[in-house]
Chains A and B, each alone.
Chain A
Amino acid sequence: MTAATIEREIRIDAPIEIVWDVVTNPQHIVNWFAEEATVDLRPGGAGSLNFTEHNHVSPLRVETVDPPRLFSYRWSQPDGEEPTEENSMLVEFILSEDQGVTTLRLVESGFAKNNWSEEKNREYFDDHSNGWDHFVPRLASYAATANVSAK
Chain B
Amino acid sequence: MTARTRSYDEEVWLAVADPNRRSLLELLINRGEATASGLASEVTFSRQAVAKHLAVLERAQLVSSRRAGREVLFCVRPNQVDVAAQMMLNIGRSWDARLQSIKRIAEEVHRSALAANRVEESPISEELPPN
Contact = CB atoms under 8 A, between A and B. Distances in A.
Main secondary structure of the interface of B (DSSP, over half): helix
Question: How many B residues touch the partner, as a band?
Answer: 35 or more
Interface in A102-126: 102, 104, 106, 108, 110-112, 114-116, 121, 124-125
Contact of A146 (B78, B99, B113): B78
B109 to A, nearest CB: 5
B25 to A, nearest CB: 8
Nearest to B13: A110
A114 B6 CA distance: 22
Interface residues of A, number: 59
Interface in A1-42: 2-4, 6, 8, 10-15, 18-19, 21-23, 28, 31-34
Interface in B90-112: 91-92, 95-96, 98-103, 105-107, 109-110
Interface of B: 1, 3-4, 6-7, 9-10, 13-14, 16-23, 25-26, 29, 45, 49, 76, 78-79, 81-82, 84-86, 88-89, 91-92, 95-96, 98-103, 105-107, 109-110, 113
